[in-house]
Each structure stands twice: as C-alpha cells, then as structure tokens.
C-alpha cells in the first residue's frame, strides 16, 4: 500500500518536531519553506524552497506528490494560502472565513461578541479613521493598544493616557497588515493559554499553561508553566470559555491555542489562534508535561485520522526565556552538550550569536535563549530550572 504523504508548511526551528512527527508516523513528509537551507530541510523526505505567497508552485508540489493533507506548526503566515489550497484540493483545513476570524483581531472580537463570549471591550481604528480622545471617552485608562493582525506581541503596549496612545500609534500600526489599530480595555489578572485539539466537533483540552510576562508597557511572554497553578473551579471556567471561543470562530478538525486572562470577574478571552501554539508550547512543553504529541495529532487530523490524545505522563514542565544584559555584545557561545546530562532537561535553544548586541525586549523575537525542564513536582521543577539556567549562562560570553 502506498504511504500517506503530508505537505508541511515551514522548516524552521518551530517546525522540527512536526516534521519528526510525520516521520515517526511513517508518513512521507513534503516540506516547503521560503529559506534555502532551514534546519528542517535535513529531516524532510522531500524539501522545496517556495516563497510564502507562491500558490501555483505550492499546488504543483502537492499534485506531484499526491499529498493527502496539509499542516503547519506554530505560525500564521501560510494559513490564508493553505485555506485556498484546501478549498481547491479538498484537504481538511479551515475555510478562508475561519482563517480570517482567527488572524484578524477585529473579525475575532466580532465573532466573540456575536456568540456572547466574554472578552475585553475594544474599538478598532482603520488607517482611514482619525484616532481622537473623544472616540475613546467611554473607556477608562489604562488601556491596551495593539495591531489588528500581528503576532508574537509585536506592537502590543499598555497605555496610561491618550498621549501614550499617540506615542505608540505609529509603531503599533506598522505591525498591522492594513495599519488598523485596536484599543481595548486593560485586563488585570493572571494570564493563561489553553492548548486544544478539536476533532469532528469535539474539543479536548490537552493542557492549560500559566504565563509569565515582562513588566508593562510591553507584554512579552518570558516563561510558560504546565500544568497551570489554578483551582479545579478556575480550570472548569477557563475551559468552558475556550470551548465557546472555538465555536465562535468555527474551529474544527484542528489544534488551537487560546489566550485567557483570569480576572476578579472570572476568565475573559484575549484571543485564539486556529493553530498549534507557538513558543515551543505545543511542540515541546505540552509533550513534556502530558506525553501528548500535538504535532502528531495535527497531522493525523489533517489526514482524516482520529488523533491519539491519551496522556502518557503527568509531569511539571517549564519553558523559560533567560534574560541577558541589555546592550552587551555576545562573545563566544559554547555548545550546550553537557546540559543534556542534567536530570529533567528537555530542550534548550540560543537565538543569539557571536557579535550580536542584546536588545531591550519589546517583542518575542528579541528574546535571547530558552530552556525547558521537567520534574515530578513543582518545587523540584523550579530547582532544576534554576540549575539549568546557571549552566546556560556559563555558555554565553558577554563582552
């Protein structure tokens, strides 16, 4: 019998586990990426360098290899193209309308409000509309300003006055594809993400993730902890809200990654992605804490197969981004080989190289290094993470 094949969009560091998952399942991996030599190239059965907007070449590759399904991991850029391809080739994927509701935060909020999903109140300003204090008169400061369709915390900032909005407006609009800016109420509380798989209309919550973010005005995620430290009641409320959000967007036969703020009034939706969660949450963190491979599940669903969502372990796991000295230059970066000897070590990655200057962190792409550890208890996890961080710091020379 001929092997099944899957077309994977992306071959960067965030897609390595997705490609490995296809190989582990015995499925032929057809991988495309705009880069000439990305890290996932060596793992792919077949690799093609394809520009992210090249629909015709992508379609020809799918036809050439008789691809049975399409999938991506931890990124949003190819989703519009994928929706178009799925519609034409009858693949299992979101419709273009669902993709728009998941990518465009204005459309997303409209969908939430239509279904009475509890979320932050907000107002969108297109590039044709002047932003004035009068138009925000019924909002109380502080507020959050953010672009309509960016990712990785780009352009998201807390503002304490209208003058702050004016100061942030140009940069925030610059991250939006159509220059639309959203101003919404500031939610105070604890932030979480919820990692889900929906198959044939049934949603399984695989894990709830507790988030740690930078001090305001920016909102960059610096650590993710699983399982989240919440009560059973809080978990039930969060999960119920996310299930409503999934229905509001129309997500089905897909992974999803929802962001929620737990406030004094209960949980409120921030936003939801109709995809696997980024920041190595779906690929490494959730697998470390539960044993569930969300990458394998995404591939199985794309091929019309029932996903394996059985939990194989119950561990504490934390992915931490380690802050280095702002303004310092990176000298020698030594290999992390001996980190693998640490009990509980799962994964580490250094994003900086010799000669780089460490920036102030305003969005996720400016983080320098990350470490993922796991342990059977919360206390032991924090201890192991501290030891791992100390060892990692020794590997990065700062001048």
Interval 147-173: pLDDT, tens = 988 776 788 889 999 999 999 888 999
CA atoms within 13 A on the CB side of 109: 15
Residue 392 has pLDDT above 60, yes or no: yes
On the 0-12 / 13-18 / 19+ scale of CB atoms within 10 A, 245 is: buried
Give me the residue label for tokens 């490494």. Answer: 284
Q: What is the DSSP string of 358-375?
A: PPP-SSGGG--EEEEEEE
pLDDT mean over 192-197: 98
Name the maximum alpha-carbon separation found in the chain.
67
Both tokens assigned to 287? 């697998």
Both tokens assigned to 57? 């070449």
Confidence (pLDDT) at 68:
97
SS3 assignment, position 232: helix
Split at pLDDT 50, 70, 90, the class of 364 is confident
pLDDT mean over 11-33: 96
Confidence (pLDDT) at 393:
93
Residue 72 has pLDDT above 80, yes or no: yes
* pLDDT tens-digit series, residues 98-128: 999 999 999 999 999 999 999 999 999 998 8
pLDDT mean over 19-27: 97
In this structure, the number of other CB atoms found within 10 A of the CB of residue 34 comes to 16
pLDDT mean over 165-192: 92
Split at pLDDT 50, 70, 90, the class of 82 is very high
Residue 1 has pLDDT above 70, yes or no: no
Give me the residue label for tokens 């059973």. Answer: 232
Both tokens assigned to 370? 């990350």
* pLDDT tens-digit series, residues 244-302: 999 999 999 999 999 999 999 999 999 999 999 999 999 999 999 999 999 999 999 99
373 forms beta bridges with: 318, 345
Same CATH topology for 5-93 and 96-114+189-314: the answer is no
Split at pLDDT 50, 70, 90, the class of 130 is confident
- Listed by start position, the domains of the chain span 5-93, 96-114+189-314, 121-185, 317-399
What average pLDDT is seen over the chain? 94
Both tokens assigned to 307? 């996903």
Of the candidates 27, 97, 110, 107, the one whose C-alpha atom is nearest the C-alpha of residue 69 is 27
What CATH code is assigned to 5-93?
A: 3.40.50.20
Both tokens assigned to 290? 């539960």
The rounded distance, in Å, linking the Cα atoms of 35 and 390 is 34
Confidence (pLDDT) at 101:
96
* pLDDT tens-digit series, residues 203-226: 999 999 999 998 888 888 999 999
What CATH code is assigned to 121-185?
A: 3.30.1490.20
Model pTM? 0.93
Q: Strand order of the sheet with strand 190-199?
A: 266-273, 254-263, 190-199, 202-213, 221-226, 316-322, 369-375, 345-350
pLDDT mean over 343-364: 93
Spell out the residues 6+ positions from residue 123 whose beta carbon is closer than 8 angstroms to its own.
135, 136, 139, 182, 183, 184
Of the candidates 314, 311, 310, the one whose C-alpha atom is nearest the C-alpha of residue 376 is 314
Residue 2 has pLDDT above 80, yes or no: no
The rounded distance, in Å, linking the Cα atoms of 116 and 231 is 24
Of the candidates 388, 107, 94, the one whose C-alpha atom is nearest the C-alpha of residue 254 is 94
Coarse DSSP helix, strand, coil percentages of the chain, rounded to the nearest 5 percent: 35, 30, 40
The CATH fold of domain 96-114+189-314: D-amino Acid Aminotransferase; Chain A, domain 1 (3.30.470)
Split at pLDDT 50, 70, 90, the class of 4 is very high
Confidence (pLDDT) at 290:
98
The CATH fold of domain 317-399: Aldehyde Oxidoreductase; domain 3 (3.90.1170)
């Amino acid at each position: 019998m001929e092997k099944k094949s899957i077309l994977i969009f992306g071959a960067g560091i965030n897609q390595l586990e997705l490609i490995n998952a296809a190989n582990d399942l015995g499925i032929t991996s057809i991988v495309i990426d705009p880069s000439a030599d990305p890290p996932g190239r060596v793992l792919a059965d077949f690799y093609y360098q394809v520009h992210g907007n090249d629909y015709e070449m992508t379609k020809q590759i799918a036809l050439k290899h008789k691809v049975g399904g399409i999938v991506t991991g931890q990124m949003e850029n190819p989703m519009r193209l994928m929706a178009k391809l799925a519609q034409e080739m009858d693949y299992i994927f979101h419709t273009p309308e669902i993709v728009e509701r998941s990518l465009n935060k204005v459309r997303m909020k409209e969908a939430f409000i239509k279904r009475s999903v509890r979320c932050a109140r907000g107002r969108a300003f297109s590039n044709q509309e002047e932003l004035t204090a009068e138009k925000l008169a019924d909002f109380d400061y502080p507020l959050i300003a953010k672009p309509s369709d960016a990712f990785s915390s780009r352009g998201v900032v807390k503002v304490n006055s209208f003058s702050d909005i004016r100061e942030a407006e140009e940069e925030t609009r610059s991250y939006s594809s159509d220059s639309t800016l959203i101003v919404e109420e500031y939610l105070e509380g604890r932030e979480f993400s919820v990692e889900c798989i929906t198959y044939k209309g049934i949603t399984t919550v695989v894990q709830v993730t507790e988030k740690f973010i930078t001090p305001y005005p920016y909102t960059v995620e610096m650590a993710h902890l699983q399982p989240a430290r919440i009560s059973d009641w809080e978990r039930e409320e969060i999960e119920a809200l996310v299930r409503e959000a999934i229905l509001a967007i129309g997500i089905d036969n897909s992974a999803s990654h929802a962001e929620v703020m737990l406030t004094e009034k209960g949980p409120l939706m921030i936003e939801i992605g109709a995809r696997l969660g980024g920041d190595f949450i779906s690929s490494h963190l959730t697998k470390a804490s539960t044993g569930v491979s969300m990458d394998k599940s995404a591939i199985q669903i794309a091929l019309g197969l029932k996903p394996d969502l059985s939990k194989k372990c119950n561990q504490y796991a934390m992915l931490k981004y380690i802050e280095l000295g702002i303004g310092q230059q990176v000298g020698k970066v030594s290999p992390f080989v001996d980190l693998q000897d640490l009990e509980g070590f799962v994964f580490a990655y250094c994003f900086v190289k010799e000669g780089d200057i460490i920036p102030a962190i305003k969005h996720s792409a400016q983080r320098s290094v990350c470490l993922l550890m796991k342990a059977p208890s919360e206390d032991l996890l924090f201890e192991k993470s501290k030891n791992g961080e100390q060892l990692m710091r020794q590997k990065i020379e700062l001048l």
